[in-house]
Amino acid sequence: MSQSKKILIVDDEPDMVEWLAAFFQDNGYETIYAYDGFDGYEKARSEQPHLITLDISMDKESGIKMYRKLHESEETAHIPVIILTGVSPELKGFIERRKQVNPPAAFFEKPVEKETLLKSVRKLIG
């Protein structure tokens, strides 16, 4: 049997982390999590997940800063990132216009429609 794909969930809302972890696990994925961008980046480096879901607005270190660090590091630049945020859609345009980093693999506003999210995850990592 093949090893399940690993998803790193980075969000400062424990309820959202719990919901995403249960949802991904129910669909055959292994999950790990972090509650801020600093810990999320460290886990991305050490765990090498197949995919990262990333909130933008977090205390300690924002998702924007973590996203930039992911792309600056050869260890993590290859990991697809899905942004899940309650921040307005204008942020998507802002991120996509940044020349320093590639746009995220996908962008969803909270509350996220779970079947659309799952379809995106399956397209990115199987």
Q: Which residues constitute the domain of residue 54?
A: 6-125
The 3-state DSSP class for residue 99 equals coil
The kind and range of the H/E element at 125 are helix 114-125
- For residue 110, tell me if it sits in a domain: yes
**What are the pLDDT digits (tens) for 73-115?**
999 999 999 999 876 666 656 666 666 667 889 989 888 999 9
Q: What is the pLDDT of residue 34?
A: 98
Instruction: Report residue 9 CA to chain centroid gap.
Output: 6
pTM of the model as a whole = 0.90
Question: Which CATH number belongs to the domain containing residue 63 in this structure?
Answer: 3.40.50.2300
- For residue 89, tell me if it sits in a domain: yes
Q: From residue 86, how far is each of 29, 39, 108 by CA, in Å?
A: 24, 20, 9
Number of domains in the chain: 1
- For residue 1, tell me if it sits in a domain: no
**What are the pLDDT digits (tens) for 37-83?**
999 999 999 999 999 999 988 888 889 899 999 999 999 999 999 99
Say if residue 1's pLDDT is above 50. Answer: no
Q: What is the pLDDT of residue 89?
A: 63
